[in-house]
Structure 1
Amino acid sequence: MTAPTVTEPRTVTLTRQKVPWADIVFKLMLRLCLLIAVAFLATLLIYVVYKGWSRLDPRLWDNFPSIRRPERAGARSALYGTLWVISLTAVFCLPVGILAAVYLEEYANPARWYNRMIELNIANLAAIPSIVYGILGLGVIARGFGFGTTILTASITLSLLVLPIVIIASREAIRAVPLSIRQASYGLGATKWQTTWRQILPAAIPGMATGSILALSRAAGEAAPLLLLGGLTYVAFLPDGILSEYTVLPIQIYGWISQSREAFHDLSAAAIVLLLLVIIAMNSIAIYVRNRAQKRW
């Protein structure tokens, strides 16, 4: 009998792979672009807060505007008008946008020509400038339907403006729901409506909330379409309904910044900070809803 041969273990040497110089340069460029963007944003925020710090007091949200005494002027009517317009915009655009997204993702046949036409138009409408929506609102909603220059007209126009964003964001949120959720629901005997209502929509709430708040934040900062729709720069009363005249913070800021006196410029900077706080509050609500409804798959 021959003795078995013992083979010596082989030593494996790990060689460190060299990173291509193009990847290093590209990563440095990305970091540089991020640094520039953050620096510009931080500079803008610091300047606005510094400029309007002297007027960040209760006078800003307690007093009505004044065209003669900037030290007593405030943005109370603009703040309430913004809340009215954004709230009504949410009531109009969110249900329509979410239901449209559900139809396009769950019920529409992508082979049909009219469904493809709808998807193409939604993608194109998301890129149209806001001033075009202002012209549409003035010609069709304000004059054609006879609603006039009211909160209702502004809300419908802004709803049309942000509706494509809501639809696209909601479709992405529905598409992100795992296919196994649908298959398990159908396997247990649920209908398509029950699967959509009880399984898909609850799982898509985090993405829908994020996209919806981003759309409403854009609507809150729009001034161009509302200028065409008769948003006034001087309103010394609070809105009493959806058919009332109004002003919003972007228009009030535009009116103050166009004044020649420096005190109005400080007041406009303080109003910008107030508008930012309103948008941050809206985003905080979206983050809270997203965290409460978020699920790990």
Structure 2
Amino acid sequence: MAIGPRRIVCLTEEPTEVLYALGEQDRIVGISGFTVRPPIARKDKPKVSAFTSAKIGEILKLEPDFVIGFSDIQADIAADLVRRGVEVWISNHRSVAGILDYIRRLGALVGAADKAHAYADGLQRGLAAIEREAAALPRRPKVYFEEWDEPPITGIRWVAELIRIAGGDDIFPERALEPLAKARILEDPDEVIRRAPDIILGSWCGKKFRPEKVAARPGWHAIPAVRNGHLHEVKSPVILQPGPAALTEGVAEIARWVRAWAQGAPPQR
């Protein structure tokens, strides 16, 4: 006998990725148009939402018994569906521990608690291995991570934590306490100059990171990362969503750049 919801719509990528990883993808009847992981989901599942909007009529036609979204960004979508009698779960996890707990909770909701615990435990072991390797590095870089450029936004909590796990130190740790992007806007970009990061990582949601544009900002030539050519892109799909990708490919990419800097390797493009 099947346990839990059988017709799930995922308004963001992370529940889709988790359910596929748990072998529960047959429950998914609709996904976000921004989903790229796993690639087969884009081919197999109808795309019915974006980040801030959704095709409510199309979702209702799918007759979902459960819809999963994320944060205040999707509050209006959730309210619209709830008014139409749809059960909605809006998660609001923003830390590494929160991501692991999210995986366990989602697994329990679909009757796959054991598989979810095993999967989360595996991800946790992977993070621990990266942290052990980072502890052996000869030095720790100061890292500036930019999630948007106009205006500059920084300080996503799970990213700040992954930077630490990978062997670096986020230069804006206080901003990681702010859940909303508008509270993480850098009103004074010169503060980046003053905090002098050794590495700049960019992941501009929905568009390509342009290191040459960053380097050309007034006064930024004095930043060690700019001076030494350590400006790198981390692709948005592997870092900007609080799901398994951030704990695997995302942190691995951060660790690669941290390790190269710590070992004195020349910057790579």
Pick the structure with more helix per residue. 1
Which of the pair has the greater relative contact order for Cα pairs under 8 Å at 6+ separation? 1
Larger radius of gyration between Structure 1 and Structure 2: 1
User: Same fold judged by TM-score > 0.5?
Assistant: no
TM-score, scaled relative to structure 1: 0.23
